[in-house]
Structure 1
């Protein structure tokens, strides 16, 4: 079973799924802002953190099934789920397969769109670099995920992100890249899901095409979207603002498409 930790004093269960080359430690800065509202279940995805690797490829559906094993054990249903980046892809697979288990889904600097051909090619080309020079891959790539206008302010957090990425086993990194490259488009998934859908995006996100994502977002009353003045890592760059949106939207209602 996947490694998980539980914290928080709230009644509402919120499952937190980290992104690629991350683990459950990424939530530490946002956790104090969420812990009074939610019971937080922080899960290490396959091949990341303290969770084992399950094979040469980790499809998003396999990861979703492993997450469900944890939520079944804890008897959480119905629950909220929030996924950062790759964790959002896993959340979408979970929504598609088990929509009845979920109260809401938050795509946290993530996308419901499949990779285009250029992105798939980029992922597959990265496999060789990861195998041959993983530290260089981390050191070159991680800083680009933060707001380029605030890199001096965010220097400590960038170093922490590198440290967490470097702690990820190479086998798990490779399996995740292969799984992400083959993931499907989930426009229909979010169009048919009846629970609350919250999308939090970054104005300076180099990993997600925010403008395209907002254009493709279905115009349904259960879907809310926010654009935050940060890069790909709102949990480190704007933790208080992101937590305020989550607390407000999952427990109350506000107008659609507010910009912070």
Structure 2
């Protein structure tokens, strides 16, 4: 029986789609099988989902992997994609060979985060998704890149503006309700990689440092002058880190 291919699953974040990985995965090593599903409610032809929770997204991912014949996988989750990866690892730990939290966290919202999400929800309801992307996305870049990376910002704004309002509201609610999943990291029998931007306002360095001490085997890539979108701001360094992590997880 032939050995199953080493599979890496890239999960996009809130108001994104699998398109965010297009440039990042160009000429990715061909000995890896790469999957990058659109989460429920996202993508070029988004369909309404009955449930936008992170747990439902984890079930959707599990069904996708079963359909693709993928068993043990390396999960790479950007932001909300990391929350989905953690929910998946909690429900299906035997299918996780490695976990990369790419500007993401196992911690629940703090009180100030919950208040900010409620303000964001109200803005979305009043002004719509396209207007929200104009306000929400630029601060995700480090100040050093906000003027030089306007093409990338416009790409994210275009992708975000195409997300249905129902999906955006469902995503905000799911993120706000996410539980504390530090126990997933504490119980991890697989390697964990954090990729952290030193200028990331959404995932402060203190959170990442605290969480990095939980797994038995953990690596952190700290990136100066990087905000919340390191796959765009520092693509060479972040891709090299993921390739090296994949070698660790699967062997060369």
CA contact (8 A) 2:106 2:180 kept: yes
Question: Shift of the alpha carbon at 1:51?
Answer: 4.2
Question: Shift of the alpha carbon at 1:121?
Answer: 1.8
Deviations 1:48-94 (A, max 9, x none): 11442323x52111111011110011110011111100000000000
Please, what TM-score do these two structures have when normalized by structure 1?
A: 0.89
CA distance in 1, matches of 2:216, 2:174: 31
CA distance in 2, matches of 1:221, 1:97: 19
- Residue 206 of structure 1 corresponds to 201
1:125 paired to 2:94: no
**Residue in structure 2 matching 1:28, options 22, 33, 44:** 22
Matches within 5 A, 1:1-260: 11-32=5-26, 34-49=28-43, 50-55=45-50, 58-134=52-128, 135-229=130-224, 230-252=226-248
CA contact (8 A) 1:14 1:82 kept: yes
Q: List alignment gaps of at least 5 residues for structure 1.
A: 1-9, 254-260
CA distance in 2, matches of 1:165, 1:12: 31
CA distance in 2, matches of 1:113, 1:208: 10
Q: List alignment gaps of at least 5 residues for structure 2.
A: none
SS of residue paired to 1:200: strand
CA contact (8 A) 2:39 2:57 kept: yes
Deviations 1:139-198 (A, max 9, x none): 011000001112121111111111111011111101110111000111111110101111
Question: Residues 39 and 153 of structure 1: is their aligned pair in 2 closer, same or farther, counting only changes over 3 Å?
Answer: same
Please, what TM-score do these two structures have when normalized by structure 2?
A: 0.91
